[in-house]
């Protein structure tokens, strides 16, 4: 059973930075493609970033490109999302997701989900 635990959210001022972590258990991280999604109140869950099994293929939503960086540390079984230049519109619950097949930009591309961590950006 794959379990994902997301952490690192919080309250930050506009222009600030946060690093989210997603610790994976139940399976080695190298066997999984990973993604980050976010969901604001009353809105659908949207793709933020994805990384494949090897880490050589990465994709970002246009809204975060150039500000966010996804990375993985297989030795620590952890995936990170470094978020810089945060804006109020980045406020959402952030979820990490995993799948054995590969990463995609839709929520149904992933079989495993973490519990979410709240990110709030004040103006």
**What phi and psi, each to the nearest 5 degrees, are found at residue 59?**
-140, 150
Is residue 82 within 8 A of residue 17, CB to CB? The reply is yes
* pLDDT tens for each residue of the chain, 123 residues long: 999 999 999 999 999 999 999 999 999 999 999 999 999 999 999 999 999 999 899 999 999 999 999 999 999 999 999 999 999 999 999 999 999 998 888 989 999 999 999 999 999
Coarse DSSP helix, strand, coil percentages of the chain, rounded to the nearest 5 percent: 10, 50, 40
Q: Which helix (H) or strand (E) holds 99?
A: strand 92-99
DSSP code at position 81: E
């Amino acid at each position: 059973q794959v379990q994902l635990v997301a952490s690192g959210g919080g309250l930050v001022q506009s222009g600030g930075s946060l690093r989210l972590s997603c610790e994976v258990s139940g399976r080695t991280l190298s066997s999984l493609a990973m993604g980050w999604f976010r969901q604001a109140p009353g809105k659908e869950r949207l793709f933020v970033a994805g990384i494949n099994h090897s880490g050589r293929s990465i994709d970002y939503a246009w809204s975060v490109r150039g500000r966010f960086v996804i990375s993985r540390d297989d030795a620590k079984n952890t995936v990170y999302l470094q978020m810089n230049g945060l804006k109020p519109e980045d406020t959402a619950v952030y979820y990490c997701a995993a799948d054995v097949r590969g990463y995609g930009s839709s929520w149904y591309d992933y079989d495993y989900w973490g519990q979410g961590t709240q990110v709030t950006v004040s103006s």
